[in-house]
Structure 1
Amino acid sequence: MKNLSRTLLLGGCMAMVGLLSLSADASSLASLKTFLFEVKSAKAHFKQIVLDKKMSTVQETSGTMLFSRPGKFRWVYEKPYEQLIVGDGAKLWMYDVDLKQVTVKQMDSALGSSPAALLAGNNEIEKHFDLKDLGKRGTMEWLEATPRDKESTFESLRMGFSGTGLEVMELRDHFGQTTVIRFSGLERNPKLAPGAFKFVPPKGVDVIGD
């Protein structure tokens, strides 16, 4: 079950950058483009639920995340088990505490056409994604991002914006699973210690990758 979080980390690890205050009458597409230029850092709590094809709950996790543009993030899974995911701008580190294992990858190759690249890249979002404003549904404005890279790990990403910011992300993969991430406790543009985005593998753990 832990592997689900690792598989989906690129669908969520940068989601926090969308947690900025938005104009209540702004379209989702306009809001996304605006925050890419305005938001420099963010901090939030998250709850993540993975649903299967029948929309039954497969996994529930929660934790906190930090973000500093461009390309630095810290994603901490606290419950029901501990995992740490850190992007330092050059490498992506994934630490499974229980397994005592660290996986490391180059950031460019690890992110690719992922939601992380959409939200934390160089603002050339329409170069890598087809964006569609889905309009208002219920109390939120919805945006859909579809990767142009057919080898992407996900089919589509939907983001639900309210007047206070990004509230929900829905990531759909090629296996019919849906990951729903809900955010709370937003801190917009906080001052974050540079050390928050550095990772040194603990002694005694296995290190796999680049």
Structure 2
Amino acid sequence: MSARTFAFLFAAPALVAAAPVQAPVGDLAQVQQHLQSVSSMTAGFSQTDRNNRVLTGTMTLKRPGKIRFQYQKGVPQLIVADGSSLYFIDYQVRQVDRWPIGNSPLAVLLNPKRDIAKYAKLNPTSDPRVVSIEVHDPAHPEYGRITMIFQKNASAPAGLMLQGWVALDSQNNRTTIKLSNQQLNGNVSDGVFRWNDPRRQGPRNR
């Protein structure tokens, strides 16, 4: 995985059925309500990049502004947002890349106060149980775009459960994220989003 594509992480295209039927407009408001109702999430994830390389790990989210992608053992990389910036840390080459959170479509997951109606649209699906929204900033195409997939679930906040997303960067490189074993609104310590800087300390266990 390159630093260019790290900030754009998405749900399996298979979750969106092939024959399009326009989703109800009210679903966008339901997504907004869901995002505002979820303060934290932990989940397993499976990431597939443009070369069909698959990595797994654990995602931890705490709103506003914090997320961590802890990769499987043996992958010397880490993605963390600490509330203001999104970092890609490569412990093998002792490199850290930083982006402002607002410069990534992933910001839609991190800031529940943003009005998604201003920069998101519903994608058609043929399954009434699936809600798909595409997020991008027309003023900044270099930020890429993210399509989030939700499954309708009466027991979940606002009746939706995030299943994952598909991200496309400005070079049309696709990254797919599928979530599993989602746990919502649990107690998550801010310490989860701290990380060791390899530029000062060298490669080590995170």
Which whole-Å deviations, capped at 9, do the CAs of 1:152-196 have from their partners, x for residues lacking one? Answer: 331x32222112412131112232322211110101011112211
What does residue 172 of structure 2 align with? 176
Question: Is this contact kept in 2: 1:88–1:198, CA < 8 A?
Answer: yes
What does residue 76 of structure 2 align with? 82
What does residue 132 of structure 1 align with? 121
Name the aligned partner's letter for residue 105 of structure 2.
Answer: P
Matched residues, number: 182
1:147 aligns with 2:146: no
- Counterpart Cα distance in 2 of 1:35 and 1:83: 30
What does residue 186 of structure 2 align with? 190
Compared CA separation, residues 152 and 122, structure 1 to 2 (3 A): farther
1:79 to partner: Cα distance:
5.9
Question: Is this contact kept in 2: 1:63–1:78, CA < 8 A?
Answer: yes
Match of 1:95 among 89, 92, 108: 89
Structure 1's consecutive aligned runs of 4 or more residues displaced over 3 angstroms after TM superposition are: 25-28, 90-93
Which whole-Å deviations, capped at 9, do the CAs of 1:35-54 have from their partners, x for residues lacking one? Answer: 22211111011111123xxx
What does residue 29 of structure 1 align with? 28
Unaligned stretches of 5+ in structure 2? 12-23, 154-160
More strand as a share of residues: 1
Using the size of structure 2 for normalisation, the TM-score is 0.74
- With CA pairs under 8 Å and 6+ residues apart, which has the higher RCO, 1 or 2? 2
What does residue 158 of structure 2 align with? none
CA RMSD of aligned residues (A): 2.8
